Chain A
Amino acid sequence: MVSAIVVGSMAVFVIVGPWFSAFSYDFTDWSNLSVAPGLEHGHYFGTDTLGRDLFVRTLYGGRISLMVGIVATIVSLAIGISYGATAGYLGGRTDHIMMRIVDILYALPFMFLVILLMVYFGRNILLIFVAIGAINWLDMARIVRGQTLSLKRREFVEAAEAQGVRTPAILRRHIVPNLLGVVAVYVTLTIPQVILVESFLSFLGLGVQEPMTSWGALVKDGAEELESAPWQLIFPATFLAATLFCFNFLGDGLRDALDPKDR
């Protein structure tokens, strides 16, 4: 519960926070290069080596990180749900083949393929969304398939079948809405994974490009100035870790609450 509130306020904070600062994310304050946090010069979190306000940059980075988290999760949801529900509902040989494909893809080291993708096709943010979303749907597909298998034997599905409703309509109207509870739990676990992947890429310099930023990119910059300006690392690192912690905690809690075995 507390986690939900923290995540919620984090989201609100990164959206409205920048309005409370006099600086923009790419403004260079030449008289305050790499200054420590303080109130007198208006840089609440200090500035980076280029004199850019770290408070605003951390929040902008948060916007990007959360946005990537949400958009990529939606991409993976869309693929995962339609794939899993189709496989589960059709069953038989189709199901077998579709799940074999998932098994094979599962064994691939996707992180490296994403890095390859970023290297070959240049670094743009849209590609990050799609690439990360496209690798994260496998878990979702498996879970959704499992749920669909048990759902399709329920009476309301039989009733719909008896009335001659077409398969896509049954999937859309009867199966998918009933999946949403389980899916919601896994969304809270997928978002932190995605944020982590994006930070990882940005940390390697393959993610979001300057002057835009994300938490991963900020942590990377901070790590380079570690000895002279530790605040450049500490603020974005804290934001990133806190967000991941809350999402994980939330997801874990929800999963335990839904899992009768753990009670």
Chain B
Amino acid sequence: MLRYTLRRVLGAIPTLLILIALAFFMIRLAPGGPFDAERALLPEIEANLRATYHLDEPLPMQFARYLGGLVRGDFGPSFQYRDYTVTELIMTGFPVSLRIGLGAMVVALLFGVSVGSLAALRQNSRTDYTVMAMSMTGISIPNFVMAPILILIFAVYLGWLPAGGLGDGAIRNLILPVVSLALPQIAYIARLTRGSMIEVLRSPFIRTAKAQGLPQAKILLRHALKPALLPIVSYLGPATAAVITGSVVIEQIFGVPGLGRFFVQGALNRDYTLVMGVVVFYGVLIVFANLLVDLAYAWLDPKVKYA
């Protein structure tokens, strides 16, 4: 197990390096520099500026410097928010995003698994068809479409929940963003759970349990749930990526001051270092989530040999 963990951690390093390198060299290949947008600068001043940001060094040197900074948790200065470093900006936005993202994941797992299991237990019943039809719809409606519709219904027409902003940070401000982020994931997880649950319920060991006269609830919770959840566990990696990507638009729509909004603002303002910092940060997060999922999977599934 320890060896497997070590190998997986080492395996994640090239992925991260490629990600960082791609982001870094793309920025350098792009036409225009960070100081182009402003008034024409005196050549001496521009040279000074370039020297301050180490832009006058050869590329490999700059890359090494950036990597070195990353290892120490330093993403460099922001070009737009002159008084802040990118690290500071990320640290102000991330806690907010984390709350919404985690909330969405928890909601998605709880609802998705229970609804999916319900559909599997009543396979081919009306409940089953309703759940499946709803989840197909849920998958097909992107969350940036779902979010405004939810606002329209719950904030504009019914007036139950605030339309946006964090307010004083109370739960009711988070409900709509979390729900719109979670809905497509609920749909996806429900489908996955249903499929694997049906398969597990057909397997011999469940038949044995039934033959022994165990109550259905006990069969379901004690025996069927764990093997049925394996595909869900492996889906958690992509789900994390989807939730993170989704939160970029969701934060934009609801005006939540999270990391995703910094990202979009940075992208529109061409704040290169900020955008790149967020990409690298998210990338590390996603690669790390995938790693955790793989480890959890190896730990849960007796059939996976972690050689």
Instruction: Decide if B290 is an interface residue (CB 8 Å cutoff).
Output: yes
Question: A19 CA to B25 CA in the complex, in Å?
Answer: 46
Q: Which of B11-19, B44-52, B73-81, B167-175 contacts A (4 or more CB under 8 A)?
A: B11-19
The 10 closest A-B CB pairs, nearest first, are A120-B30, A245-B140, A223-B148, A244-B140, A112-B279, A107-B15, A237-B145, A119-B267, A241-B141, A111-B245
Instruction: Decide if B136 is an interface residue (CB 8 Å cutoff).
Output: yes
Could you list 21 A-B pairs, sorted by A, with CB under 8 Å? A108-B18, A108-B22, A109-B241, A109-B279, A111-B245, A113-B26, A116-B23, A116-B279, A120-B29, A120-B30, A120-B272, A200-B144, A204-B264, A205-B264, A219-B144, A222-B148, A230-B152, A233-B152, A241-B140, A241-B145, A252-B136
Q: How far is the CB of B258 from chain A (nearest CB, A)?
A: 15
Instruction: Decide if B253 is an interface residue (CB 8 Å cutoff).
Output: yes
Contact among A119, A226, A241 for B148, CB-based, below 8 A: A226
Residue-wise, chain B 134-147 has the 8 Å CB interface mask toward A (1 for contact) of 00110111101101
Contact residues in A for B252 (Cβ distance below 8 Å):
204
Contact residues in A for B137 (Cβ distance below 8 Å):
241, 245
Q: In the complex, are the beta carbons of A108 and B148 less than 8 A apart?
A: no
Q: What is the total of A-B residue contacts with beta carbons within 8 Å?
A: 118
Residue-wise, chain A 91-120 has the 8 Å CB interface mask toward B (1 for contact) of 000000000000011011101110111111
The majority secondary structure among interface residues of chain B is: helix
Question: A107 CA to B137 CA in the complex, in Å?
Answer: 28
Residue-wise, chain B 266-298 has the 8 Å CB interface mask toward A (1 for contact) of 011010100110110011001100100000000
- Give the nearest-CB partner of B242 in chain A: A111
Contact residues in A for B147 (Cβ distance below 8 Å):
223
Instruction: Decide if A132 is an interface residue (CB 8 Å cutoff).
Output: no
Contact among B26, B144, B152 for A116, CB-based, below 8 A: B26
Question: A9 CA to B11 CA in the complex, in Å?
Answer: 48
Instruction: Decide if A83 is an interface residue (CB 8 Å cutoff).
Output: no
Q: In the complex, are the beta carbons of A240 and B267 less than 8 A apart?
A: no
Contact residues in B for A205 (Cβ distance below 8 Å):
264, 268
Residue-wise, chain A 157-192 has the 8 Å CB interface mask toward B (1 for contact) of 000000000000000000000000000000000001
A248-B139 CB under 8 A given contacts A104-B14, A233-B148:
yes
Question: A47 CA to B270 CA in the complex, in Å?
Answer: 32
* Chain A residues in the interface with B (C-beta under 8 A): 104-105, 107-109, 111-113, 115-121, 192, 196, 199-200, 203-206, 216, 219-220, 222-223, 226-227, 230, 233, 237, 240-241, 244-245, 248-249, 252
Q: How far is the CB of A69 from chain B (nearest CB, A)?
A: 14
Contact residues in B for A244 (Cβ distance below 8 Å):
140-142
Contact residues in B for A204 (Cβ distance below 8 Å):
248-249, 252, 264, 267
Contact among A107, A200, A227 for B249, CB-based, below 8 A: A200
- Give the nearest-CB partner of A122 in chain B: B31
Chain B: interface residue count, which band? Answer: 35 or more
> Which of chain B's residues 4-50 have a Cβ closer than 8 Å to chain A?
12, 14-15, 18-19, 22-23, 26-27, 29-31
Q: In the complex, are the beta carbons of A196 and B148 less than 8 A apart?
A: no
Contact among A117, A196, A249 for B142, CB-based, below 8 A: A196
Q: In the complex, are the beta carbons of B275 and A116 less than 8 A apart?
A: yes
Contact residues in B for A107 (Cβ distance below 8 Å):
12, 15, 286-287, 290
Contact residues in A for B241 (Cβ distance below 8 Å):
109, 111
Q: In the complex, are the beta carbons of A116 and B156 less than 8 A apart?
A: no
Instruction: Decide if B61 is an interface residue (CB 8 Å cutoff).
Output: no
Q: How far is the CB of A80 from chain B (nearest CB, A)?
A: 19
Question: A101 CA to B238 CA in the complex, in Å?
Answer: 18
Q: In the complex, are the beta carbons of B142 and A199 less than 8 A apart?
A: yes
A206-B152 CB under 8 A given contacts A109-B279, A109-B283:
no
Contact among B15, B140, B275 for A108, CB-based, below 8 A: B15
Contact residues in A for B282 (Cβ distance below 8 Å):
109, 112
Q: In the complex, are the beta carbons of A219 and B279 less than 8 A apart?
A: no
- Give the nearest-CB partner of A248 in chain B: B140
Contact residues in A for B1 (Cβ distance below 8 Å):
none
Instruction: Decide if B149 is an interface residue (CB 8 Å cutoff).
Output: yes
- Give the nearest-CB partner of B260 in chain A: A204
- Give the nearest-CB partner of B291 in chain A: A107
Contact residues in B for A112 (Cβ distance below 8 Å):
245, 278-279, 282-283
Instruction: Decide if B182 is an interface residue (CB 8 Å cutoff).
Output: no
